[in-house]
Amino acid sequence: MSAKPVREGLFVTDPETGTASLLGSRCAGCSQVAFPASEFCPYCGSEHTQVMLLPQEGTIELCTVVRKSSPNYRGPTPYGLAVVRLTPDLVIIAKVDTQQVLAPGTAVRCMVQAVGEDDDGNVLLAPCFRPLHLQSEMERIRVAGS
C-alpha cells in the first residue's frame, strides 16, 4: 500500500512541507496559462504548450461549502469549493480545507489531502487549498505545545 495522486499530471508535491503545486501549461503562441495542463492551448488552439508549476498561493474570489458530496467522493465533508485566483490572468475552481465560507480576498496555499483509498488500498492524494491564517494558527499551536 502506498499513496498516489488521484490523477497523474495534475500536481506535484513537496513531501517536506506537505505543499503542492498544480501543473498548468503555458502557450508559446499566445502566452496564456491553462489549468489543468494541456497539450494544446484552449485559447488559440496552438499545439506548442509547455507544462509549468502554478503558484502555490492564491486568493479566494468566491467560496461555498459542500455539505453533501457526490456518491463517488470518499474524502471528508463538509469542504469548501472556491474560485481561487492564482495569477492576475488565471482563476481555477478548487477544493478548500474549510467548513465555513471564506471571504473574498482570503489568502490560501495549495496542500495535499488524503481523499480515501482506491480499490487496491492505495491512499489517494488530491490538491486542496488551505487558508494561510489557519496554517499560521496551527504552527503557533505546534510551537506552544513543544
- Assess 30 for contact with Zn ion (CB under 5 A): yes
Query: Phi and psi for 65 in degrees, rounded to 5?
Result: -115, 125
Cell of 98: 474549510
Question: Shortest gap between Cβ of 77 and Zn ion (angstroms)?
Answer: 37
Residue 96 has what DSSP assignment? Answer: E
- Assess 115 for contact with Zn ion (CB under 5 A): no
Q: Which is nearer to Zn ion, 27 or 102 (CB)?
A: 27
Cβ neighbors of 144 (< 8 A, separation 6 or more) are: none
Q: End-to-end alpha-carbon separation of the chain, Å?
A: 32
Q: Which of residues 42-61 bind Zn ion (CB under 5 A)?
A: 43-44, 46
Q: Which is nearer to Zn ion, 44 or 53 (CB)?
A: 44
DSSP string, 88-104: TTEEEEEEES-SSPPPT
Q: Which is nearer to Zn ion, 46 or 135 (CB)?
A: 46
Residue 63 has what DSSP assignment? Answer: E
With H, G, I as helix, E, B as strand and everything else as coil, classify residue 127: strand
Q: Which is nearer to Zn ion, 44 or 141 (CB)?
A: 44
Question: Shortest gap between Cβ of 49 and Zn ion (angstroms)?
Answer: 7
Question: Shortest gap between Cβ of 56 and Zn ion (angstroms)?
Answer: 24
**Which residues make up the interface to Zn ion (CB under 5 A)?**
27, 29-30, 41, 43-44, 46
